[in-house]
Amino acid sequence: MRLRPPAFSRYSIATMARPPRIAVVGSANTDLVTFIDTLPRAGETVFGQRFELGFGGKGANQAVAARLCGADVTMLAKVGDDLFGEATLRNFAARGIDTSQVRTARGVSTGAATVLVEPSGENRIIVVKGANDELRPHDVDAAAACLRQMDTIILQFEVPLETVYHGVRFARAHGIRCIVNPAPAVPADLSQLIGADWLIPNQTEAESLAGRPARSDEQARDCARELLRRGFRRLILTLGERGALIAGPQGMIHVPAYTVTPIDTTGAGDAFTGSLAVFLAEGMAERDAVAAANRYAALSTTRSGAQSSFATRAEYDAAKAALRSIDR
């Protein structure tokens, strides 16, 4: 089935020569990544294979992916008054991300994520939100002059939901494309999110939002139908190695994944969301943009870490011909 792409004439930049301008309102964490052969049981100590310290947080990851794909990116976030906060700011600056809207929260830690990676590449993550919980709606308002210059605003669920809801309303009021990645899966007021142009959940998040399973392809379609029924305009349900499902008023279409041998899946969803925002803002048709984001995310799983696994646009362009889609 062929879907008609949504019309975004009020903020289309397809004919502009400048790079897309993208703001990410979200989290910034320090990632403590341990590679293990087996998970410890209660009271058990096991030896890991190696340890890596890096930068993460879903918001920061998506900002880095968007920047590496060629966008001008502004980060709206909070960090703590600790060594990790200082290092996070230096990392953003080194990657060319505008940090003028990143503030330091006094007396709290920078967000941190403990990541356990198994030999299959699957991961388990524990997040301590720290300063991310200090990002409030008034911070969005304080950055209004900057945000009004953006083509796209991306939000996730690692900051207070009231801030996410306010960000959606802000984007809608100012005619700015809005992408919500409802990750991680937490209970949310869907009526506060339906102003977003795209909702991009994975299977677990779709199940949480729709209140029904999404383990099979048909169940995923049922979840998508339920979320559309509740008022969302367009969904892109990411299905991991099964690709992605686009759903909208005109119907649904499956976009296949790409064949890779994964090393570490940490950050793959963020690679998808950040790159998709750029591809869409460049004027790419929706299905083509999702296919390109599938490629970019698949490529990220062939390297370890989150931000450290993301390819530059030149690396992506060089590698994409070698990635073959999985026929279904």
Q: pLDDT tens across 302-327, in order?
A: 998 889 999 999 999 988 777 766 65
Beta strands in the chain (DSSP E): 21-25, 29-35, 50-56, 72-80, 98-105, 111-117, 123-128, 152-156, 177-181, 198-199, 235-238, 244-248, 251-255
Is 261 within the bounds of a domain? yes
Residue-range definition of the domain harbouring residue 164 = 21-28+58-107+131-322
Q: pLDDT tens across 160-217, in order?
A: 999 999 999 999 999 999 999 999 999 999 999 999 999 999 999 999 999 999 999 9
Is 50 within the bounds of a domain? no
Distance (Å, whole) CA 157 – CA 204: 14
Q: What are phi and psi of 236, to 5 degrees?
A: -130, 105
pLDDT confidence of residue 14: 44
Is 118 within the bounds of a domain? no
Is 42 within the bounds of a domain? no
Is 91 within the bounds of a domain? yes
pTM: 0.88
One of 72, 139, 151, 270 is an active-site residue; which one?
270
Query: What average pLDDT is seen over the chain?
Result: 92
Is 249 within the bounds of a domain? yes
Is 38 within the bounds of a domain? no
Domain count, the chain: 1
Is 116 within the bounds of a domain? no
Domain at 90, CATH number: 3.40.1190.20
- Does the annotation mark 189 as catalytic? no
Section 215-223 average pLDDT: 94
DSSP letters spanning 127-143:
EE-GGGGG--HHHHHHT
- Counting runs of H as helices and runs of E as strands, what totals does the chain give? 10, 13
Percentage with pLDDT > 70 across the chain: 94
